[in-house]
Structures are given as structure tokens and as C-alpha cells.
Structure 1
């Protein structure tokens, strides 16, 4: 109301000034400048208000611990009534911070670079996935709810990425119908957290059905079993009756206070599983059955040995007789030759 009265007084004074006078010209110029200032202020007042004032939700800052080369899935809760608002995840301590991803899409994973966002309006929560982490990703982030012409609400998230080479990548292989065993080492920080093995689907989103929440106890889910050895900090996963559909990229991970409003999932070890067919199944070769060995009776073996012995004796006797006859024949020939010589001498005389 005051603004209108001032404008009315200004117009009454302007009407009292004679047209074409110097005062009239000055007043006209001042009026134009005043209107431009008012218009500029009206355009700046809302952005300045949104940048300088934000409302923080939650009692404390969320703290997330992740590892280089891995990934992390952060939970961002928001209040009822803002299901249709645009959600964003930005890096920086103060607003405006650098948006890493921002979307108004609901119930669908939206991807932008190494970041993904899923807004679940039914649970009034949106999840942010960070992949291929490096130490440089350490810093302060904000889960934000965009409120048009109002004060945004956000939750501060402190992300710390550790450089640890113990949780890298591995390759595994198995045959169709066989069994594959996978072992994943995890840090002391997640010793008491539930563990899981998830498979990458839908462009870098990792899904799983169950997790192991107790130490030294097998948990079975369809053809997969999980075992958490918290003493040695090793997660063992057994996949039975593997098929070609089981081939793909998996992650060993842990749920850190996931049931709370500030929980997160950390992905530590990447595993690539390759399931191959048995070579003989391509071109099967049918070989004739091998005959069973013939077992001879014991009596037959005895008689065989006796027969062989008699045969050897007979051959020996025949050989001895033959040799004796041959020697006697040689002696007779010599005697006959001597008699022939004597007889010739007798007839020929001295």
C-alpha cells in the first residue's frame, strides 16, 4: 500500500510540472532509471534468496567410506509432500554446489557419467550410485530436493574414498552345469556388516536377492550360497548348476547400516564370471564298448603248463637221438674209407 501511495504522489507532482521544462525532462529520466532498477531487483531477489538460504534435514552429517576402483550406493531420504519435486546430488559444502546428477524422473534409473539416481516416491527416498571411485572423489556432497521459488532442503554426505589395492578385480570361469566358488576379502571396517554378491544389470546397476548377516553360517538362495568368515574377513560364494545366463560382472559388497535413513552400500571387489560349454558336447564321439577281460579257469592253466613241459621234453629227446645217430654215421664212414685204402694197397702190391 505504501508503494502505491508513493507512486501516486510522484505522479501528482509530475503532473504539476509544465511540459517541456527542464524539470520535466529530469523527472522523466529519473522515472526510467527507477523502473529499470525495480525490474532488475525483482529478477535478482529470488535467485539470491535460493542461494543464500537452504534448509538442512537430519540431525547429523552422513558419513560414507568407500574404496578406489569400487562403488557406493547412497540413500537420501526426503519428507512427504515432495515426491514430485526434482532431486539432485551435488558436490560442495555450500550452495550453489556442483550438480553431479539432477533429474525429475521417477521409478527409473537415470545415468549421467559415473553417477546414477533412482527416485522411489513410494518410500520417499532416492538412491545415488557412484562408480569407478578414485581418491579424488573424497569430499562433501549434498542430497537435495529442489523447491521452486522456495528454500531447498538437503542432507550433507561426507564421502571418504580409501586407496586399497586388496579389493580389486578377479576373473573366474566355470562349465555349464558345474559349480563355481568365489572368495572376496573385505576390510576390518565392514566386519560386522551384512555381505552380498550382486550382478550388474540395467547399465551398471547391481542387484541381488539376499545377504548373509551372520558369521560362519551358510545362507542359501536358489542355486547360490553365501558364507561369511568374519575371523579371516573373507566372503565365500558358491554358485551351483551354472548356466550361460550366469556369465557377467559381479560385485562383492557390504550393507552399512542400510536399514537406517543414512545407510549405504559399498561395492569392493569386482568379479567377471565366464561360463563355457564342455568341448565334448559339441561333436560327441561314440566309441564301441570295451570287452571285458576273459578269465581262464585254473585247471586250464595247469594243463597248459604240463603240455608245454612235455612238448619241450619231447623236442629235447628227439634232438639228442638225432645228434647220436649223426655221430655214429660219421664214424662208420671213416671206417669204410680206411678199409678201402687197405684193400687198394693189397691189390696194387708193394
Structure 2
């Protein structure tokens, strides 16, 4: 009986330990942000983040000013005032699966196990366009395993991720609204009265927390481009007017050249006519005088 009780308590203890394991999930092609709270006495100590491999811990990144750095897969920032440390891993692959540790000074934190899985719904980069002053809807799919996670839409702002809209109630204004379709595993964020500041990079996310650690699994990256249809039409009008003026100028120059050629042609024809007329006058005058002379001679000879 004692052996059975001992075995029972051993299973309970093992189960409790397994429940405290900090497991984080991510999607291939997507990203993940892991955030944990640091002890107050270690907030001024240097921080680092590493991956355990064969009982060794290889440093992946140290604390930096910005979390979202385009040319880096690993980045980490620290908010010392509230004692939060956030690590971002971008463009996840299966090989990123493993155990990680945070280090504050000389002390290591508890292990965090990252599980990266492939989901056909997510891990992609999409592009959308919206007209200035119009309405746009960003569509975010999520896996079934994230069904009951909090849903968020972030925007990349000055090296950080700003929450635009969330099922947890966080939002940046009345222009944004979030709706969840539980049957299709999709949530959408609608933006009304679109302005030029809405142009940028958005990220669909799912949030989970346990103990001292929380994480956001970033599912889809959306690049939103804002266009100005009024400005585009003005450009088209300017182009059309420029083409018309060019054609009118070409036509006017053609007519002018044609007129000049016609005038030159008329001048070359009139010159011979004037010469012939002058020659004719001289001949006719000579003939007239000769006739007059002959007549006078005839009169004088006449008996």
C-alpha cells in the first residue's frame, strides 16, 4: 500500500513539474516575442538570451534599443522601469525549436522551450492597398491551437510593435475595430477614414501568458500601402495636357514649315515670268520703232 501511495505522489509531483514548464509555440515563417519579468535587484545588470545546445548556452542576442530590426532575426529590448525583457525571433524555422535561457548578470532564468510548427494558414507576407480617406480590412488567419488566445494587430513603429487593436480591449482609436470569426479561425481589423500615416507594416498576433512569462506568436506580416486616387487623376490630367500641347506645337511647326516652303516655291516661279515680261517689252518696243521707220520711209518714197 505504501509503495502505491509513493508512486501516486511521485506522479503528482512529476505532473506538477511538467505543468510549470514554460512552453512557447511559433509558426514557420512567422515570428515570436517572449517577454518575462526580471527581478528588481537585477534590472541594472546586463542581459543576454541564449539557446542551449549539448549542455552549452550560446548567446543569441543582448539588449538593444529596438526590438524590430529588419536585418536581424534575433533582437531584445528591456524596459527597466517596469522590469520587462522582450526577445523577438523572426522568420522562424523548425531548427529554432529548442530550449532557451535568459541571463541577468550572472544568474540564469528558468528554461523556456520553443516549439516551432508548420501551419499552412500562416507564416506568410501579404501586401494590400487602400485609398486615402477610404476603408480597409486586414484579414488574419490563425491555427486551431490558438483559438482561445487573445488576438492582436500590431504596427511596426520606430523599431517597436504598437498594439493597434486587440480582443483584450487595447486599441489606438475609434477608427479601428476587431472582429473574430470563431468558425473559420479568422479575425479581421477594419480601419476607417484611412490616412497617409496608416501606411506601413502590420503584424497579426496571438497572445498567451503563464506565470512570469508571456509571449506573442506573430502569424502574418501585412504591408499596407496607401494610395491617393485624387493625386493620381491629377497626374493623368497633367500628362494628357502635356501630350496635347506637344501635339499642337508639332502641328503648328509643321504648318509653319509648309507655308515657308510654299512661299519659296511661289517666289522661284514668279521670277522667270517677270524676266520674260521685261524681255517682251523690249522686243515689242523695238518692233514698234522699226515699223514706224518703215512707214516713214514708205511715205517719203511714195510719189
Do the two structures share a fold, i.e. TM-score over 0.5? yes
Residue matched to 2:24: 64
Larger RCO, structures 1/2 (Cα 8 Å, 6+ apart): 2
Partner residue in 2 for 1:178: 134
Q: Which runs of 4+ in 1 moved over 6 A?
A: none
Q: Is the 8 A contact 1:174 1:242 kept in 2?
A: yes
**What SS does the corresponding residue of 2:34 show, helix, strand or coil?**
strand
Q: Which ranges in structure 1 are unaligned for 5 or more consecutive residues? A: 1-58, 286-350
Whether 2:105 is the aligned partner of 1:146: answer: yes
Pairs within 5 Å for 1:291-330: none
Q: In 2, Cα distance between the equivalents of 1:257 and 1:78?
A: 15
CA distance in 1, matches of 2:152, 2:234: 34
Deviation, 1:231, is 2.2
The answer to whether the 8 A contact 2:128-2:223 is kept is yes
CA distance, structure 2, for counterparts of residue 78 and residue 242 of structure 1: 39
Partner of 2:85: 126
User: Which deviations, in whole Å up to 9, do the C-alpha atoms of 1:190-231 show, x marking residues without a partner?
Assistant: 11111111112234x3221441149xxxx8833111101122
Q: Identify which of 231, 243, 246 aligns with 2:183.
A: 231
Measure how far apart 1:183 and its partner are: 1.3
Is contact 1:93–1:141 with CA below 8 Å preserved after alignment?
A: no
Q: d(CA) in 2 for partners of 1:94 and 1:261?
A: 26
User: Partner of 1:28 in structure 2?
Assistant: none
Q: Is 2:76–2:85's contact at 8 Å kept on the other side of the alignment? A: yes
Does the aligned pair in 1 maintain the 2:66–2:76 contact within 8 Å? Answer: yes
> 1:140: Cα distance to partner?
0.7
User: Are the equivalent residues in 1 in contact too, given 2:32–2:90 (CA < 8 A)?
Assistant: yes
- Measure the CA separation in 1 of the matches of 2:203 and 2:146: 15
Deviation at 1:76, TM superposition (A): 2.2
Name whichever structure is richer in strand by fraction. Answer: 2
Equivalents in 1 of 2:234, 2:133: separation in Å? Answer: 12
Change in CA separation of 1:132 and 1:227 when aligned onto 2, cut-off 3 Å? same
Q: Normalization by structure 1: what TM-score?
A: 0.56
Of the candidates 147, 171, 194, which is equivalent to residue 191 of structure 1? 147
Residue of structure 1 in register with 2:255 after alignment:
none
Separation (CA, whole Å) in 2 of partners of 1:228 and 1:200: 22
1-structure distance, mates of 2:49, 2:209? 20
RMSD: 2.4
Structure 2 unaligned residues grouped into runs of 5+: 1-18, 239-303
* Kept in 2: contact 1:193–1:213 (CA 8 A): no
* 8 Å CA contact retained: 1:193, 1:257: no
Give the 3-state SS of the residue equivalent to 1:231 in structure 2.
coil
Which residue matches 1:166?
Answer: 121
Which residue is 1:98 aligned to? 58
2:173 matched to which residue of 1?
A: 221
Find the aligned partners of 1:240 and 1:126 in 2 and give their Cα distance. Answer: 34
- 1:76·1:155 contact (CA, 8 Å) conserved in 2? no
SS in 2 for 1:183: strand
Match of 2:224 in 1: 273
Measured in 2, the distance between the counterparts of 1:89 and 1:245 equals 34
Which residues in structure 2 correspond to 1:25-40 (within 5 Å)? Answer: none
**Cα contact 1:139–1:158 (8 A) shared by 2:** yes
Name the CA distance, whole Å, in 2 between partners of 1:257 and 1:247: 31
Partner of 1:254: 206
Larger radius of gyration: 1
Size of the aligned set, in residue pairs, is 214
Displacement of 1:252: 0.8
